[in-house]
């Protein structure tokens, strides 16, 4: 018989040594997979501990994946989980022979006697799956990097997105059954009920929150106005209310102003000291004390400001993912949209297409992170040339109709005194000085309306108009008597308001 060398140490005709012991196999932990499945088969407690940690994809061995799918199906239908029921479920799906028959299931139950360390083992299995996913993604990135047809910035964004998915434990998101969605929706409704009816991020402005139920997760909100109308002031006021009062993490991306300028404006709003005094530093002793005391709440606020100039949409997405992962931000504000770039050399120079790409990516990012994103936007000069009150319209959105299409909410800031108009365009002709309308012109999931706000120019901030926001305070000023208040007569008691009710909102006090 011809003497042959073992394959583990054989030599090829070219002299290359083949050594399987030095070969690479994907990271795996099959013994732990078997131990976890065995513990799930013998102990219901083991199922409860790891059913939310593991998914079928994390199992390296195909047979183990099928067994977990059977266990999960029984768990979802509230059926008992043991050797017999899992065997029956596999037989029903014609998978019993694929996993090795009843003999393999019996062997799994013999490998463990308790589910004491099942969660620890499950975490290791998950880590091996993450390692395999990183290898797969890395290979995809390497292959794509050799292709000249793929834009380098798109490649960077795709790589960042895939890595972010791994950190969020969402390697591959697939379609979800209506049953799971109904359960999620019911849980969300219960959470909303506990939060007194607000399903989103409360802005601190009562009328805005009433109309929108707060800024909703995955929504793109556009706040548009002409320069100097108060876009930054309004969003800074919101950021202050959300981060300082509600202690909700907020990220503010400023492409126009420096971070020090922004925080100085917030200090002015927080302390009541005018911006002029803060710029010159001419403060009295009691004002220095006021500054030191009142700024402490702002120091502790979970507010993150990024003033990178000419920020590209791809850089924004990378920064936002990092902030979401590290600090759990719940709201992003971008000031403002037209100053952003795509990060791609646009030879055609079509700015409208660029803005379309930016707005589409902002909406995509809002859905990916499941948080609201507020993007400020400029209005075209058409507002200035229009006669009458110069109230903005959706057609005034600058450079792209895609903004209107992608946005869930489009709102405008309108201050009559900006145009030298000292009265509101209502029947009473109430004074407009120091006031503004936030016009909700598009609302994909709710009603439209105009919300009157107070604007304090010296502090660069917006506030609710107290008597306007509080029907009971309004009624007490109208009548000193203790008559019962009819809910139908309260301002903004309903989305649909009679003309007579609107007149009540415009009283000057």
Residues noted as catalytic: 256
Q: Which two tokens stand for residue 264?
A: 């100085």
Strands 303-306 and 435-443, sheet pairing: unpaired
**CA atoms within a 13 Å half-sphere pointing along the CA-CB vector of 357:** 16
Run of H or E including 373:
strand 373-378
Question: Three-state DSSP class for 399?
Answer: coil
Instruction: For residue 491, give the nearest of 462, 456, 452 by alpha carbon.
Output: 452
Q: What would the DSSP string read from start to end of 242-288?
A: IIIIS---EEEEESSS-HHHHHHHHHHHHH---HHHHHHT---HHHH
Question: Three-state DSSP class for 132?
Answer: helix
Q: Which two tokens stand for residue 387?
A: 């006669």
Tell me the C-alpha to C-alpha distance, in Å, between residue 443 and each of 90, 287, 439, 475. 49, 43, 11, 30
- Give rounded-to-5 percent helix, strand, coil for the chain: 50, 10, 35
* Pairwise CA distance, residues 139 & 157, whole Å: 16
* Pairwise CA distance, residues 161 & 369, whole Å: 11
DSSP structural state of residue 241: I
Instruction: For residue 408, give the nearest of 257, 278, 217 by alpha carbon.
Output: 217
Run of H or E including 218:
none
Q: Which two tokens stand for residue 326?
A: 């590290």
Rounded to a whole number of angstroms, the CA Rg of the chain reads: 30
Query: What length is written for the chain?
Result: 509
Q: How far does Cα 324 stand from its chain's mean position?
A: 8
Place of tokens 């005034």: 396
443 forms beta bridges with 409
Place of tokens 């030599």: 11
Q: Which two tokens stand for residue 430?
A: 């109430």
Sign of CA dihedral 243, 249, 253, 259: positive
Query: Are the C-beta atoms of residues 244 and 234 closer than 8 Å to each other?
Result: no
Please list, in sequence order, all residues whose beta carbon lies within 8 angstroms of the beta carbon of residue 484, skipping any fewer than 6 positions away. none
Q: Which two tokens stand for residue 373?
A: 């994103």
How many other CB atoms are found less than 10 A from the CB of residue 188? 12
């Amino acid at each position: 018989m011809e003497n042959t060398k073992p394959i583990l140490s054989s030599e090829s005709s070219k002299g290359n040594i083949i050594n399987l012991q030095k070969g690479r196999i994907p990271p795996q932990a099959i013994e732990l997979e078997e131990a976890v499945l065995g513990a799930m088969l013998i102990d219901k407690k083991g199922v409860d501990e790891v059913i939310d940690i593991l998914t079928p994809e994390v199992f390296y061995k195909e047979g183990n994946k099928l067994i977990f799918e059977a266990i999960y199906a029984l768990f979802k239908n509230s059926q008992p989980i043991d050797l017999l029921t899992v065997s029956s479920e596999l037989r029903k799906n014609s998978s019993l022979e694929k996993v090795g028959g009843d003999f393999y299931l019996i062997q799994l139950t013999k490998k463990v006697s308790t589910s004491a360390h099942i969660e620890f083992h499950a975490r290791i299995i998950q880590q091996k799956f993450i390692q395999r996913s990183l290898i797969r993604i890395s290979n995809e990135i390497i292959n794509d990097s050799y292709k000249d047809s793929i834009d380098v910035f798109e490649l960077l964004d795709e790589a960042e997105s895939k890595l972010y998915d791994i950190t969020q434990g969402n390697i591959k998101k697939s379609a979800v059954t209506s049953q799971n969605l109904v359960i999620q929706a019911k849980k969300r409704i219960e959470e909303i009920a506990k939060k007194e009816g607000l399903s989103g991020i409360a802005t601190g402005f009562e009328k805005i929150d009433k109309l929108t139920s707060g800024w909703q997760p995955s929504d793109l909100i556009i706040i548009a106005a002409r320069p100097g109308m108060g876009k930054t002031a309004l969003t800074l006021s919101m950021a202050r209310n959300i981060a300082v009062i509600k202690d909700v993490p907020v990220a503010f991306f400023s492409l126009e102003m420096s971070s020090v300028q922004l925080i100085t404006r917030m200090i002015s709003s927080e302390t009541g000291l005018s911006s002029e005094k803060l710029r010159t530093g001419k403060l009295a002793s009691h004002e220095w004390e006021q500054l030191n005391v009142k700024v402490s709440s702002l120091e502790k606020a979970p507010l993150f400001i990024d003033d990178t100039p000419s920020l590209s949409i791809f850089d924004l997405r990378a920064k936002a993912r990092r902030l979401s992962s590290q600090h759990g931000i719940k709201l992003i504000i971008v000031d403002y949209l037209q100053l952003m770039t795509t990060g791609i050399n646009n030879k055609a120079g079509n700015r409208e297409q660029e803005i379309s790409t930016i707005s589409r990516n902002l909406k995509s990012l809002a859905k990916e992170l499941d948080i609201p994103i507020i993007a400020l936007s400029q209005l075209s000069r058409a507002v200035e040339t229009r006669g009458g009150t110069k109230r903005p319209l959706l057609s005034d959105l600058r450079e792209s109709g895609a903004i209107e299409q992608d946005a869930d909410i489009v709102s405008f800031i309108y201050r009559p005194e900006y145009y030298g108009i000292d009265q509101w365009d209502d029947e009473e002709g109430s004074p407009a000085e120091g006031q503004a309308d936030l016009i909700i012109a598009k609302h994909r999931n709710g009603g439209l309306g105009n919300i009157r706000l107070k604007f304090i120019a010296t502090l660069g901030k917006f506030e609710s108009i107290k008597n306007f926001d509080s029907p009971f305070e309004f009624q007490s000023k109208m009548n000193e008597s203790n008559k019962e208040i009819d809910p139908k007569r309260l301002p903004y008691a309903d989305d649909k308001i009679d003309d007579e009710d609107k007149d009540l909102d415009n009283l000057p006090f």
